[in-house]
Structure 1
Amino acid sequence: MSHMEPRRSRTVKRRMWGGLRQQWKLLGLFEIDQQHEFYSLTCMMKEGLSTAIQNTIDNPLPEELSDDDFRMEVTQIHKEFRMESFAGPVFASLRRSLGMTEKEYQLSLSSEGHYLQFISNSKSKADFFLTNDKRFFLKTQNKREVRFLLSNLKIYMEHLEKYPHSLLVKFLGVHRIKIPHQKKKYFIVMQSVFYPDERIHSRYDIKGCEVSRWTDPAPEGSQVIVVLKDLNFEGHFITLDQQRPWLLRQVEIDTDFLQTLNVLDYSLLLAEQPLHEDERHHSLSFATLIMRTKKSMVTSSSPTHTGAAPSVPGTVPEEDSAILESQTDCGMQHCHVMDMRGGSGGAEEEEEEEVSSVQEELRGRGTRTGSAELRDFQAQNRRLLPNFKNPLHVIDGPEQRYFIGIIDIFTVYGFKKRLEHLWKTLRHPGRTFSTVSPPAYCSRLCQWVQDHTK
């Protein structure tokens, strides 16, 4: 009888929370406080992650990752649960290459602030959590999805090394939590594409098709967070001017990679944020152009070689940024790139200025080194990164700042999906839907980006 009471209490609590969830299902994001059904789980996640990251802090990374690092499993025993971490050195290496220190990662994931739950309109049964600062996403996954990620982790890391400015979501950790008398729960930690989100005014989940790709927008003036879909975006464009060719090429590169994994149903996440007047002009200053060039030319950072100092494939340390600003501002207060965006030929002139700044930076490194790095810059499809947090997923256009990333890369085109494709072909004749072969999915999403950018 004593065993039944806690179980009954949990059932009642779930039902009560289920009713609240129906009422709040449009809110999108809210705090996981002590009355929340996931409060206990997220507290365990915090404790387990803090200990797992501390283990990485206490044990320096190897100079170069080995096959054993990709297969590593570490179990840590806590009072009420066990936490297993998979391929810890690999993910620590990736975090380092993105410019994160383990301390700041630990602080964000285990801060006193409550996690946030994000209720999406996804068909997935996964639960989505955000750290209190909204920097990292935690998502529950099934065993098959985790196995798929771990079995392809090496080629995923190689892709990020080959294309440092990739739009693919950055996986930062894979874990399994075991609570007595409960089913094991797998979860992954990812960098949020929409960080920081304070001024974002619209969010979209794009798959490049039309069936079930409409979401009712939030009422005007509402604070409700709704992620819209393809049909909601019709009639709109991503306006990038000279950065459009870069985006088209990078989407092609990343979706070609996903095609080799035989996956489909992934999404292009897109958010829009208006640029302030001062942001538009500051991005064109001579000092900022040089800084962005330095950010984009950093080549010492590597996801698979851990000896280099931590640095986003493209981040300049704050102290270097301050020095650079003062050096370029002294005697050059009037050296600004003219804002030509409003006139004819402006995009071309601005692009020439940006290319010149890259070439000038490389010239300072010596002819041979500079030529090799310029070739790498082009071969790796790098771009001039914005002087902004989360620069790998941020692209500034003339009027808007766009947050762009590719997520949900675990759906393999196997027997079940092939049957689903046949059924949907009969069910939706003449209409486009998500369940198509990986080559068709890749091609269609690239076409969508081409049709909706200018």
Structure 2
Amino acid sequence: MEMSGSPAEGPRRTRTVKRKMWGGLRQKWKLLGLFEIDQQHEFYSLTCMMKEGLSAAVQNAIDNPAPDELSEDDYRLEVTQIHKDFVMETFAGPVFASLRRSLGMTEKDYQDSLSSDGSYLQFISNSKSKADFFLTNDKRFFLKTQNKREVHFLLSNLRIYMEHLEKYPHSLLVKFLGVHRIKIPHRKKKYFIVMQSVFYPDDRINARYDIKGCEVSRWTDPAPEGSQVIVVLKDLNFEGQFITLDQQRPWLLRQVEIDTSFLQRLNVLDYSLLVAHQPLHQDERHQGHSFATLIMRTKKSVITGSSPTNAGTPTVPGAVPEEDSTLLLSETDNRTGSRSAAESQRGSDLGSAFSGRPCTEQPAGTVTDSMELPDFQAQNRRLLPNFKNPLHVIDGPDQRYFVGIIDIFTVYGFKKRLEHWWKRLRHPGKAFSTVSPPAYCLRLCQWVRDHTK
């Protein structure tokens, strides 16, 4: 006759079951506002194929590391991997691998996030595009379906995009981490891109905005009070508010000008400035001034000369050699007593370069050529926060802001020119989205000037 377990085992099992149930409930609550793609979801099969295909594609990058110097062949490379129920194609794999490496991202970490056991999340966007938006379960990476024209535009401009990130490593432009095409028998081919999420980590974000610098169709009804549904608000929702940065304001003004000038060169419009904010905890408000935090921030910031196109050494926010960080820190330590004043002066120098000039007067290619500044300043770098997503995080006195520029695929061609004239007739005297790239660039820069302090 078998003996039953001891009397203590029953309560212990009950506690274990309760803990698991409570953990599951908390996880579901965290995902409110996004839709978990479970087995009943229409995209379940597609996202499972995406996960399998991406895992294999990244494994190929692990087995065949990107070279330190990218060649023209790397930009044109297409790799096809055949799976049981689909075929996955990866475009310019070594180029995107080198960018991931320059961001301090290991391929294994990237692979684990894209192919984790947790389901992808569907994000319901109020965008007018027909794209589908997915998030990895940890909400670190965005996957977005794109049409063939948009993918061709990105790949044809990939080299100058990489050159821009090399010249301005702290750019606010969204970081594209992969371009793929999935072929499923008897179904239409799907192109999709993988991007770093600007709003990561989003645990305490309490408001998100998609800013285009205009007013027509730029209001979204907020979520009901007390609701945890995620709603991305727009320009008119932001009226009466400010992004309060103090010393970092000149840096932001300048970087927005640099990035929008680059987009003007690409002849694009309709891109968005994403802005989110969350309150700083009391212990976060002054942590940037401690010596230990300064070491970590310096390590995240840069080594002059490293770049995505020569990615032997991580650029941002990966580790830097100790001797380089020690040198930077020793220079900083010598000025400890006047550090705030020095940072403020640096911001003023960069801010004066902005000086309210229209974008058309300062193309991205020449925006710093005439300045006799050290490399750190000429490339508009800043001391990055010791944070998981430092390139898109700016801490003000009381709020942490997440800032990035997305949706850079809309070319100002014949259709958009017609749309511009139609909207001029329909909305006389009002600011609408469809304007020429120089006007769009100037207007967004003006919005940032007017809504920051």
**Counterparts of 1:354 and 1:148 in 2: how far apart (Å)?**
35
Is contact 1:88–1:173 with CA below 8 Å preserved after alignment? yes
Contact 1:337 1:350 in 2 (8 A): no
Q: How does 1:320-331 map to 2 (within 5 A)?
A: none
Identity in percent: 81
**Quick one: distance in 2 between partners of 1:292 and 1:449?**
26
Unaligned ranges ≥5, structure 1 = 1-26, 339-345, 356-372
Q: Is the 8 A contact 2:33 2:228 kept in 1?
A: no
TM-fit CA distance, 1:60: 2.2
SS at match of 1:125: coil
Question: How far 1:281 sits from its partner (Å)?
Answer: 1.8
Where do residues 177-196 of structure 1 align in structure 2 (5 Å cutoff)?
177-196=182-201
**Residue number in structure 2 paired with 1:91:** 96
TM-score by length of 1: 0.82
Deviations along 1:110-155, whole A, 9 cap, x unmatched?
1110000000111010000000000000000000000000000000
Q: Is the 8 A contact 2:307 2:315 kept in 1?
A: no
2:221 partner SS: coil
Equivalence map 1:31-110=2 (5 Å): 31-110=36-115
Does residue 152 (structure 1) correspond to residue 145 (structure 2)? The answer is no
Structure 1 position 30, deviation (Å)? 1.4
Which one of the candidate residues 267, 292, 296 is aligned to 2:297? 292
Amino acid of the residue matched to residue 423 of structure 1? W
Q: Does 1:381 align with 2:380?
A: yes
Contact persistence 1:76–1:82 (CA under 8 A)? yes
CA gap of 1:95–1:441, structure 2 versus 1, over 3 A, is same
C-alpha displacement at 1:219, in angstroms? 1.1
**1:221 Cα offset (Å):** 1.1
- The gaps in structure 2 that reach 5 residues or longer are 1-31, 349-371
Supply the AA of the counterpart residue of 1:49. L
Instruction: Give the secondary-structure state (helix, strand or coil) at the position aligned to 1:89.
Output: helix
RMSD (Å), alpha carbons: 2.4
| 2-structure distance, mates of 1:314, 1:185 | 32
Q: CA deviation at 1:350?
A: 6.0
Q: For residues 214 and 441 of structure 1, do their structure 2 counterparts lie closer, same or farther at Cα, with a shift above 3 Å needed?
A: same
Rounded Cα–Cα distance in structure 2 between residues aligned with 1:336 and 1:202: 36
Aligned twin of 2:223: 218
Moved more, 214-223 or 258-267: 214-223
1:403 & 1:313 partners in 2: Cα distance? 17
Cα distance per residue 1:43-95 (max 9 Å; x no partner): 00000000011011111222210000000001000000000000000000000
Report the Cα offset of residue 282 of structure 1: 1.2
Partner residue in 1 for 2:344 = 351
Q: 1:207 to 1:287 in 2, by over 3 A?
A: same
User: Which residue of structure 2 lines up, in the alignment, with residue 204 of structure 1?
Assistant: 209
Work out which of the residue numbers 118, 121, 146 in structure 2 matches 1:113.
118
2:392–2:402 Cα contact (<8 Å) kept: yes
- Structure 1 stretch displaced more, 115-124 or 287-296: 287-296
Structure 1 contact 298–314 (Cα < 8 Å) conserved: no
Distance 1:316 1:305 in 2: 16
CA drift of 1:374 comes to 7.2
Partner of 1:136: 141
Map of 2:127 onto structure 1: 122
Structure 2 counterpart of 1:72, one-letter code:
L
Q: CA deviation at 1:288?
A: 2.0
1:181 alignment partner, SS class? coil
**1:134·1:195 contact (CA, 8 Å) conserved in 2?**
yes
Q: Which amino acid aligns with 1:127?
A: D
CA distance in 2, matches of 1:215, 1:419: 26
1:341-388 deviation digits (Å, cap 9, x = unpaired): xxxxx9747636999xxxxxxxxxxxxxxxxx9711011000010010
- Say whether the 8 Å CA contact 1:298–1:315 is kept in structure 2: no
Deviations 1:129-184 (A, max 9, x none): 00000000000000000000000000000000000000000000000000000000
Q: What is the aligned partner in structure 2 of residue 359 from structure 1?
A: none
- How many Å apart are 1:286 and its aligned residue? 2.9
Please give the alpha-carbon distance, in whole angstroms, between the structure 2 residues aligned to 1:113 and 1:75: 26
Once residues 299 and 313 of structure 1 are traced to their aligned partners in structure 2, the CA distance between those partners, rounded to angstroms, is 11
Q: State the shift of 1:28 in Å.
A: 4.3
Q: Give 1:359-370 correspondences, 5 Å limit.
A: none
Correspondence for 2:404: 405
Contact 1:259 1:442 in 2 (8 A): yes
Secondary structure (helix, strand or coil) at the match of 2:434 reads coil
| Residue matched to 2:452 | 453
- Within a 5 Å distance, the mapping from 1:298-313 to structure 2 comes to 298-299=303-304, 301-306=306-311, 308-309=312-313, 311-313=314-316
Q: Which moved more, 1:294-303 or 1:218-227?
A: 294-303
Contact 2:251 2:347 in 1 (8 A): no
CA distance in 2 between counterparts of 1:353 and 1:409 reads: 30
Q: CA deviation at 1:312?
A: 4.5
Is the alpha carbon distance of 1:209 and 1:352 closer, same or farther for their aligned partners in structure 2, counting shifts above 3 Å?
A: closer
| Aligned mates of 2:410, 2:173 — CA distance in 1 | 15
Q: Secondary structure at the residue paired with 1:173?
A: strand
Residues 426-441 of structure 1: matches in 2 within 5 Å?
426-441=425-440
- 1:272 is paired with a residue of what secondary structure? strand
1:283 partner SS = helix
**What residue is the counterpart of 2:19 in the other structure?**
none
User: What residue number does 2:255 align with?
Assistant: 250
- CA pair 300-376 structure 1, distance change in 2 beyond 3 A: closer
Give distance in 2, aligned partners of 1:432 and 1:417.
Answer: 15
Matches of 1:106 and 1:374, distance apart in 2: 40
Name the structure 2 match of 1:395: 394
**Cα distance in 2 between the residues matched to 1:223 and 1:160:** 35
CA distance in 2 between counterparts of 1:265 and 1:386 reads 29
